[in-house]
């Protein structure tokens, strides 16, 4: 008769594993000798080897119990099922590999490459770091909720960066970092923003009709803007006085709703 250690070593498993299988009901508890030790016959080794054969093939232990008692049909069906699971887990890992490869390639977390290019260009052009960060974070949020919309939007934003007058306006928006609520630069900046939006509102239709952003997301992006800049609240008030409401998706606040304007996108 075998002790548990001998049984385990015949089957190439640990003693703990054998006891685990007893607890799970996979292997029946054998007789005990007078000192309480488990005593096994050779048949137990065969059973244990069968269990390990299935377990080593990636069959979950709960399934092993069924399979040991299954007839051929059930067995084949169960094997197909397990193979499906294994294929799914392999696919999952492959997707994971692609994703971390992209993370290692792009130099920033959770950002599509167009956006990485965009924020790099902002840094080249001398934008305030704080403004670059809030852009990056905003696009992180947008990419999380509507990844396929990022491309068209980015094309527009990149074009805006290369427009000199618009760029100068946006560079000055970066100065909001330093503005307290009573900073004299704020009303001037609000005038310039309002003038630009006004002009743009008359022009061509933007990306925003084809790729609308949900109200929730707009509210979140506005909140991020406000959290980031101390002068942001005052800026929104000043824009309100000039007939505009919001920032990410800026719109006329006059009673009659008009066509939406090109967003400034913080």
168 is in the binding site of which of its own copies, DNA, none (Cβ under 5 to 8 A by kind)? Answer: none
Q: Whole-number minimum distance, CB 256 to its own copies, in Å?
A: 31
User: Any long-range contacts for 199-207 (C-beta under 8 Å, 24+ apart)?
Assistant: 200/261, 200/262, 201/252, 201/258, 201/259, 201/261, 201/262, 203/262, 206/156, 206/262, 206/263, 207/152, 207/153, 207/155, 207/156
Q: What is the DSSP letter of 244?
A: E
Query: According to CB under 8 A, which residues from 58 to 77 bind its own copies?
Result: 58-59, 68, 72, 75-76
Residue 11 touching its own copies (CB under 8 A): yes
- How many residues appear in the chain? 266
Task: Report the candidate in 164, 117, 172, 163 with the shortest Cα–Cα distance to residue 139.
Answer: 117
Nearer to DNA, 35 or 165 (CB): 35
Nearer to DNA, 17 or 158 (CB): 17
Figure out which of the listed residues 15, 110, 116, 166 binds its own copies, where binding follows CB under 8 A.
110
Figure out which of the listed residues 156, 194, 200, 220 binds its own copies, where binding follows CB under 8 A.
220
Q: Which residues contact DNA by CB under 7 A?
A: 3-6, 14-17, 19-20, 33-38, 55, 60-62
Q: Whole-number minimum distance, CB 106 to DNA, in Å?
A: 22
Task: Report the candidate in 160, 266, 132, 145 with the shortest Cα–Cα distance to residue 215.
Answer: 145
Nearer to its own copies, 110 or 169 (CB): 110
Residue 145 touching its own copies (CB under 8 A): yes
């Amino acid at each position: 008769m075998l002790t548990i250690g001998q049984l385990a070593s015949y089957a190439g498993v640990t003693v703990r594993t054998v006891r685990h299988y007893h607890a799970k009901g996979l292997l029946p508890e054998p007789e005990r000798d007078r000192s309480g030790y488990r005593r096994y016959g050779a048949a137990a080794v065969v059973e244990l080897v069968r269990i390990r054969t299935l377990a080593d093939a990636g069959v979950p232990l709960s399934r092993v119990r069924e399979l040991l008692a299954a007839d051929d049909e059930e067995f084949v069906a169960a094997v197909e099922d397990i193979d499906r699971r294994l294929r799914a887990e392999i696919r999952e890992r492959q997707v994971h590999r692609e994703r971390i490869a992209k993370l290692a390639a792009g130099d920033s977390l959770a950002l599509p490459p167009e956006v990485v290019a965009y924020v790099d260009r902002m840094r080249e052009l001398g934008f305030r770091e704080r403004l670059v960060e809030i852009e990056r974070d905003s696009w992180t949020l947008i990419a999380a909720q509507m990844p396929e919309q990022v491309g068209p939007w980015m094309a527009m934003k990149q074009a805006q960066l290369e427009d000199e007058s618009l760029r100068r306006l946006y560079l000055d928006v970066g100065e909001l970092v330093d503005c307290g609520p009573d900073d004299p630069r704020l009303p001037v900046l609000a005038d310039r923003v309002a003038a630009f939006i006004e002009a743009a509102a008359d022009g061509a239709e933007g990306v925003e009709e084809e790729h609308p952003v949900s109200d929730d997301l707009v509210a979140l992006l506005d909140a991020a803007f406000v959290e980031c800049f101390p002068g942001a609240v005052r800026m929104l008030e000043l824009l309100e006085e000039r007939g505009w409401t919001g920032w990410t998706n800026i719109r006329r606040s006059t009673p009659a709703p008009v066509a939406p304007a090109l967003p400034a996108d913080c």
